[in-house]
């Protein structure tokens, strides 16, 4: 398909473990975003990339969270020493450019459960 | 500190009638607003947007109204259809400098057949 894809769709891990969540944006989209959605809340911004560089990582909650986009396409969100509070749906979105208000296309999300 | 608020967690409307979803914001720097629709187990899907230089934008059955002085926007769906049943999120962004969306908590719309 031509949409944003995320893998895995579900991830169950134990407290203290390391996890990686992958996002494949729409081909040609230069801007990529990560959001986190907890139960009953709206998506919460984590980080966005323009090309390979993180243009704004102000939403990352702490230094256990890290994201990369080495070739300006696929991105990986990495969470170290997971905690139960990290349980949420992690959404990835991409847009054609960083022009203000450009529509962001969202993937289906990865549901992370930390036991 | 919730900068974008959707105070109604749920709304039920009869098929064919108008649905009105409301959103309030506190940050006067926001200059672009969007509505997204979300079905279970899917990502949010863009519905309609409005720039702060406008007070209305219409796309088929969907109209968004912006009242900047009241820091309030609303989404009107008319006529409502059962397929419109979903969670609707209001989002806001600042076009210059940062492009992240700040989302509200969502309103679950149920359109009754």
pLDDT at position A99, please? 62
pLDDT at position A55, please? 84
Contacts of A29-32 with C-beta under 8 Å, sequence gap 24+, read A29/A94, A29/A95, A29/A96, A29/A105, A30/A72, A30/A96, A30/A97, A30/A98, A31/A94, A31/A95, A31/A96, A31/A97, A31/A98, A31/A102, A31/A104, A31/B99, A32/A69, A32/A75, A32/A92, A32/A93, A32/A94
Read off the tokens for B80.
């409502």
Q: Which are the contacts of B60, defined by CB distance < 8 A and separation ≥ 6?
A: none
Whole-number average pLDDT of chain A: 93
Model confidence pLDDT, tens digit, residues A70-92:
998 999 999 999 999 999 999 99
The whole-number average pLDDT for the span B43-59 is 95
B30 and chain A in contact, CB less than 8 A: no
Q: Which of B33, B101, B102 to mutate: most A Cβ within 10 Å?
A: B101
Q: Cα B30 to chain center, whole Å?
A: 14
Q: Please, what's the b/e burial string for A53-88 (b: 16 or more CB within 10 A of its CB; e: otherwise)?
A: ebbbeebbeeeebebebeeebebebebeebeeebbb
CB pairs under 8 A between A and B: 67
Assign A84 to helix, strand or coil: helix
Inspect the interface and report whether the beta carbons of B99 and A107 lie closer than 8 Å. no
Confidence of residue B43 (pLDDT cuts 50, 70, 90): very high
Confidence of residue A2 (pLDDT cuts 50, 70, 90): confident
């Amino acid at each position: 398909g031509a949409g944003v894809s995320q893998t895995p769709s579900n991830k169950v891990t134990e407290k203290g473990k390391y996890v990686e969540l992958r996002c494949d944006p729409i081909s040609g989209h230069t801007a990529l975003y990560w959001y986190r959605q907890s139960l009953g809340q709206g998506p919460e911004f984590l980080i966005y990339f323009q090309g390979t560089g993180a243009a704004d990582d102000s939403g990352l909650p702490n230094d256990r969270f890290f994201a990369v986009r080495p070739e300006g396409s696929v991105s990986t969100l990495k969470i170290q020493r997971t905690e139960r509070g990290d349980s949420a749906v992690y959404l990835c979105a991409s847009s054609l450019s960083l022009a203000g208000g450009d529509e962001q296309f969202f993937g289906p999300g990865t549901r992370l459960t930390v036991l | 500190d919730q900068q974008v608020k959707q105070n109604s967690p749920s709304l039920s409307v009869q098929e064919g009638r108008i649905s009105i979803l409301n959103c309030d914001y506190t940050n006067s720097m926001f200059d672009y607003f969007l509505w997204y629709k979300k079905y279970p187990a899917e990502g949010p899907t863009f519905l309609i947007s409005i720039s702060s230089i406008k007070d209305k934008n219409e796309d088929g059955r969907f109209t968004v109204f912006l009242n900047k002085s009241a820091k309030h926007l609303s989404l009107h769906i008319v006529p409502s259809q059962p397929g419109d049943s979903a969670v609707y999120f209001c989002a806001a962004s600042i076009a210059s400098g940062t492009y992240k969306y700040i989302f509200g908590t969502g309103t679950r719309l149920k359109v009754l057949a």
